Structure 1
Amino acid sequence: MDSLKTTLRGSARTLAVGQLISKTGDGAYYVTSALFFTQVVGLSPAELGLGLTIAWTVALAVGVPLGHLADRVGPRETAVFFFCCAAVAAGSYVFVRSFPLFVLAATVYAIGQRSGSAAQQALLAGVVQKGKITTVRAFLQAASNAGLAFGAALGGMVLLFDTREAYLTAFALNSVVFLAAALVLTRVPTVAPAPVSSEGEKSRSVLKDRPYVAVSVLNLILVLHGPLIDVALPLWIVTHTEAPKWVLAAMFVLNTLAVVAFQVRVARGVTDMTSAGRYVVKGGLLLGLSCVVFAYSGSGSSVWSAALLLLTAAAIQTAGEMMQSAGTWEISFGLTPDGRHGQYQAFFGSGHTVAELIGPLVLTGLLVYWGPPGWILLGALFVVASFLMVPAAKWGERRLNAGKATTGASPSGAE
C-alpha cells in the first residue's frame, strides 16, 4: 500500500483529479443528451444518430494527426487546449436549435474530448516512470468510472425534473468541468516536445508500424465488450430473457463499482510485457466465458434464474475487462517509441471510438437477431483475439528493439 501511495502522488494524483472532474461532466451528458436533443431541441432519433456518427467519425479521422501535434507542441499544452474546445462545444449545446448546428457542436465536442484524452495519455507517459504507467493508468480508470457514476447520478436528477432548464444546467455543468479539468492539468509539469525529424529520416507515422497496428486492431475486437451494456444487452434482456429490466441498471452499477474498487489491484499483477500478455489472455478467456453465460440466460430461464445468470455473466465480464485493460495498457505504452506517445495513443484509443461506432450495429445483429449462437461466436472472437495479442506484442517488441539497435536511440517507427 505504501508503494502504491508513493506511485500515486504528485503528477499522477493530479492527472487522476483531472480525470475524475472531466468524467463527471461526461456522465451527466451521456444520461441526458439523447432526451434533450430529441425532446427539447426537436431532433428526430435518426438525426441524432446520424449527427453523432458524423461527429465521432471526424474525430476518428483527425485523431492521429492531432496526436502527432501533441508530440510536436507538447502533450500538456495540447490536452489543455482540446479540453477547452470540449468545454466551448458543451456550452454551445444550449444554443443549438437545428441539425447543422448540432453536427458542428457535436463534432467539436468529439474532437476535443478524444484528442484531449489522447494528449492526456501522452502526458501520463511523460511524467510517470515507465514501470509505473500501468498502475497509474489503472488508477485513472478507477477515477474515470467514479466520475462517470457520480455524473450519471446528477444526470438522473435532471431526468427526474425533466425540464428544459434542468437539461441546460447539465450541459453548463459539463462545460464548467472541462474547463476545471483543463485548469488542473496546468499543474502537471510540462513535457518537452519531441524533436522534429531530420531531413531524410524515415517516416515516423504510427500507421507504418505494422505490429502496433496489429495490436490496436486486436484490441478493437476486445473492447467490443464496451457497447454491450449500452445497446445490445438492453435489447437482449427485453427480447430474449424473462429478466426484469432493472437488472440492466444493476449490471451497470456492478461494472462501475467493481472497476473503481478493484482495477488498481488487478493492474498490480502487470509488471512487464510478458505478464501483460498473460493478463490479456486471461481477460479474453473470461470475456468468452461471460458470453457463454449470457447465452444461457435466454434459454427459457425463469425470471430470477435469468436475472442471476445475467448478473453472474456481468461479474465475469467485468473481471475480464479489468484484466484485458491492464494488459493492453502495458502493451500499448510499452510498444510506443519515445517522443511519439501522442500519435500512438491517439491511434490505439481510436479502437474504442470504432467499437462505439460499429458495435451497436454488429452486436445487435449478432446477438439480438441470431441469439445464443451469436454470443458463442462473440466469445470465440474475444478468446482468439486475446491469444493473438501475445505474438503481436512480441513482434512489436522485436521491432522496437531492432530500431533502437539500429539508431542507438528511439526507433523511427517506419517499416
Structure 2
Amino acid sequence: MTTRTAPADPSPDTGSVPAPRPTLAARVAASVADPVLRILVTATLISRVGRGIFLTVTVLYFTLIVGLPAHEVAIVLSASSAVGIVASLAGGWLSDRWSARRLLLIFTALEGLGLLGYALADDFAAALIVGMVVGGFGQAANSGRMAIIARAFEGEPRVQARAVLRTVTNAAIAVGSGIGAIALAIGTAEAYRILLVLAGLAYLAGLLRLVRLPKSVDAVPPREHEPVLTATGSTDVLATKRQARRTLRAHSPWRDPRYLLLTLCSAVFGMQFGVGELAVPLWIAQDTAAPEVLVSVVLILNTVVVILFQVPLSRGTHDPRRAGRVSAIAAWLMAAACLVYAAAAGLPAWVAAVVIVSAALAHAFAEVLSQAGGWGLSFELADPVQAGTYQGVFGMGYSVGAMCAPLVVAATTEQLGGAGWGILAVVFLVSGLGTWAIARWSARTAAAAA
C-alpha cells in the first residue's frame, strides 16, 4: 500500500488584510536597486537635463544669436548626425577591447566640453566643428553605455534597465527643456550662452557618478583570452594575440545577417522620431486648421506616455516571441497613426485637434512598443563575445535612420501631402512586421537548437 502524506493544514483565516500595494516611490526605488543601474540612472538624470537645454536652445541660438542662415544650420546638424554614425560603431568596437568604464568617462567628458564650446562658436566653421564633436562623442558614449548594460545584466533585467534609463532620459530632457525656455523668454545672447554653459556643466557633473562604475562591466581584453602555449609550456604572446583577433572576427556582427536585418528594420522604423519632430509640427501648422499650440501638446503627450508606460510595456521583451509581438503591434499602431494624421487635413479646427491628438497617442505607444521590442532583440540576438560591437552596429542603424528621416519627410508629407502619409504608413508597417518576422525566426531557431 502506498502511503500518501497529507498536506499540512492551511493556516486559519485570521481576517488579515492583504499587504498594501507599494507606493510609486517604492516601485521606483526597487527598479533601481541594482548598484550599476543606480549609478547609470543618477548620471543620466543629471546629464540629460543638459541635453534638454541643448535641444531647446541650439537651433535658435545658431539662427538668432550666431546669425547662421537656415541651410548652414542644417549642414551643422547633418554633419553631427553623420559623424555619429561612425562614432556609434567605433564606440562599441572600442568597448570590446578596452575598459568600457574609462571610455564612457572620456566620451562623456568630451561631449560636455563640446557643449561648452557651443557658447564660444561665433561663425559657421566653429559651429560645424563643435557640432561634429558633440555628435560624435555623444554617440560613442551611448554605444559604450549599451555595452555596459549588455554585460551588467541578463534577460529581462537587461531590457528593464534600458527602459528605466529611457524613462529617466525623457523626464530629465523635459526638465531641461523647461530650463531652456528661460533663454527663449529672455532672448539675449548672454542668456543663451549661460544656458549652453549649464548644459555642458550638467554633462561634466554626471561624471561624478560614472566614476563609481565597477570593473565587472568591462569586457575581457583580448590579451587576457585563453593563452596559446609553446612546446615548452610558456605563453606564445604573438600567437595568443592572433588567436584573440581571430576570435573577435569570428564573432563579428558583420557576419551575422540576422542581426544586420534587425538593424535595418529598426533603423527604418526609427524614422518615426523624425516624423514626430518634423513632419507632425509642419503638418499641423501648414496643412490643418488646428491651432499651432497643438505642437506642444503633442510633444508633452509623447513624453508623458514614455515616462508612464516604457518600463511596464518593456517587461518580457527579452523573450524574442514577445519582442516580436510588441513590434508587430507597434507596426500597426504607427501605420494607423500616419493615416489618422493625414485625415486631419480639411477638418474644422476642433475636430482636427481631436484627430491629431488621437494619432499622436497611437504614435506614442508605437514608439514605446517598438523601442521595447528592438531593445529585447538587440540584446538577446547579440553575440556576448562582442557585445559592444553589436550594440554599436545597432546604434549606428538608428543614427542612419535619424539622418535620413528629414529627407524622407520632405519627399513624402511635404511634397505629396496625404498620399505621403500613406507611403509612410506602408514603410512603417513593412519595417515593423520585418522585425516581427526576425523575432519569429529567432524563436524557431532557439527552439530547434534546444
Deviation at 1:193, TM superposition (A): 2.3
CA RMSD of aligned residues (A): 2.1
Counterpart-to-counterpart distance in 2, 1:121 and 1:62:
14
Matches within 5 A, 1:227-376: 227-298=274-345, 300-376=346-422
Counterpart-to-counterpart distance in 1, 2:446 and 2:192:
49
Deviation at 1:401, TM superposition (A): 9.9
CA displacement 1:94-117 (0-9 Å, x = unmatched): 221222222111111111111111
Residue 8 of structure 1 corresponds to: 32
Aligned: 1:97 with 2:122: yes
Amino acid at match of 1:8: V
Deviation at 1:52, TM superposition (A): 2.0
Deviation at 1:341, TM superposition (A): 2.2
Residues 239 and 368, structure 1, Cα contact 8 Å, conserved in 2: no
**Residue among 434, 437, 447 paired with 1:388:** 434
Residues 11 and 128, structure 1, Cα contact 8 Å, conserved in 2: no
Residue 205 of structure 2 corresponds to: 180
What SS is found at the alignment partner of 1:391?
helix
Deviation at 1:399, TM superposition (A): 7.8
**Residue among 196, 214, 218 paired with 1:192:** 218
Larger Rg: 1 or 2?
A: 2
Counterpart-to-counterpart distance in 2, 1:375 and 1:19:
35
Counterpart-to-counterpart distance in 2, 1:86 and 1:192:
21
Aligned residues: 403
Amino acid at match of 1:320: A
Alignment TM-score, normalising by the size of structure 1: 0.91
Residues 32 and 158, structure 1, Cα contact 8 Å, conserved in 2: yes
Deviates more, 1:181-190 or 1:302-311: 181-190
Counterpart-to-counterpart distance in 2, 1:283 and 1:123:
27
Any gaps of 5 or more consecutive residues in structure 2?
A: 1-21, 223-242
Counterpart-to-counterpart distance in 1, 2:322 and 2:293:
38
Deviation at 1:53, TM superposition (A): 1.3
CA displacement 1:233-254 (0-9 Å, x = unmatched): 1211122111110011000000
Deviation at 1:352, TM superposition (A): 2.4
Deviation at 1:396, TM superposition (A): 5.3
Residues 253 and 259, structure 2, Cα contact 8 Å, conserved in 1: yes
Residues 329 and 369, structure 2, Cα contact 8 Å, conserved in 1: yes
Counterpart-to-counterpart distance in 2, 1:351 and 1:213:
9
Distance verdict in 2 for CA 1:271–1:51, change over 3 Å: closer
Amino acid at match of 1:72: R
CA displacement 1:116-170 (0-9 Å, x = unmatched): 1111111112222333111121111110100111111111111001111111111
Counterpart-to-counterpart distance in 2, 1:56 and 1:194:
31
Residue 43 of structure 1 corresponds to: 68
| Identity %, equivalent residues | 28
Residue 413 of structure 1 corresponds to: none
CA displacement 1:213-245 (0-9 Å, x = unmatched): 100110011111101122111211122111110
What SS is found at the alignment partner of 1:270?
coil
Amino acid at match of 2:185: L
Counterpart-to-counterpart distance in 2, 1:175 and 1:339:
34
Residues 87 and 139, structure 2, Cα contact 8 Å, conserved in 1: no
Amino acid at match of 1:354: V
Distance verdict in 2 for CA 1:78–1:395, change over 3 Å: farther
Any gaps of 5 or more consecutive residues in structure 1?
A: 406-415
What SS is found at the alignment partner of 2:97?
helix
Counterpart-to-counterpart distance in 2, 1:341 and 1:42:
43
Residues 84 and 139, structure 2, Cα contact 8 Å, conserved in 1: yes
